[in-house]
Structure 1
Amino acid sequence: MTFCYKKVFPAIFLGLPIVSFFYLLFNESAGSAPVFVLPFMVLLGFFVVRRYTADLADEVLDDGDTLKVRQGGLEQTVALRDIVEVSVTRNTNPARLTLRLTCAGALGDRIVFVPLSAASDCLPYKPNPLADELKQRIATIKATSMRQP
């Protein structure tokens, strides 16, 4: 699904204004005002798309006590005990789940990904089930590691 957010959506979102620009530029019956607005729309759209998709991980796989994260050509294995905070940004579409790590790895000190959609995504004040499950598992791992001598 991340492929759609990182590749397909930007191609459509930025491609349509670019095609419209060239159509209006070479069409003599169109006025000149919209032609010069479109490059600014594409530029603004580019920065908005980069802001919301550049840091997304391509794939996050649950491997028990660790998560395997892939972003581009980089891969990192993150132990659940190394996660400090799990947060969900719900005011964006799609919702983004952010894992803040104790120390930076190959992908930095934050892992951001789009969790699979759940029925609760439509309800604005209902907690994200994946975030809740991760928080619970992290708390359990940290509690058991503190009890061991």
Structure 2
Amino acid sequence: MVPFVRRRADLRDHPGQVALPGGGVESGESAWEAAQREVAEEIGVPAGRLQPLGAGDPIYAAVTNFSVVPFVAYLPDPVESFVHDVGELEGVLAIPLDRLLDDSAWAQSEEPWRFRYLAHEGSTVWGLTERIVFGLAPKLRQALTEDQSRDLPAAEQ
């Protein structure tokens, strides 16, 4: 499962949208340190529990003038539930990784604006979040392939 957050409708940036946990880099911290801090603040996973698998290419969000550095990480010991920051978020939406990586699960919007989106449990992943997921998909597929090959008995490899 991949945790997404549902942003509150009264926020200035990306109100009401589904997003990945994240936020700005504070003075003196790296992008990875900021990512861990934001995950801890937004969904309650303590910093240091995430194992990084790599970073994606920076993505520019013209609407908000953000440059986003996305990371792929996993949680070796999954949490039973996420505790979200009610000051920023309406809740957490867990989407199965195989659904995110299934191209047939994604739809294309109609005119006048064409974009890819994923509908899941009454929410929609689109926009910047879709661009991040799409950009990270090759790293996610590679990590899954490597993980599955480690699980195979030696004779099957």
Please report the TM-score for the alignment, with normalisation by the length of structure 2.
0.27
> Which entry has the higher C-alpha Rg, 1 or 2?
1
- Return the structure number with greater helix share: 1
Please report the TM-score for the alignment, with normalisation by the length of structure 1.
0.28
Answer 1 or 2: higher relative contact order, Cα 8 Å, separation at least 6: 2
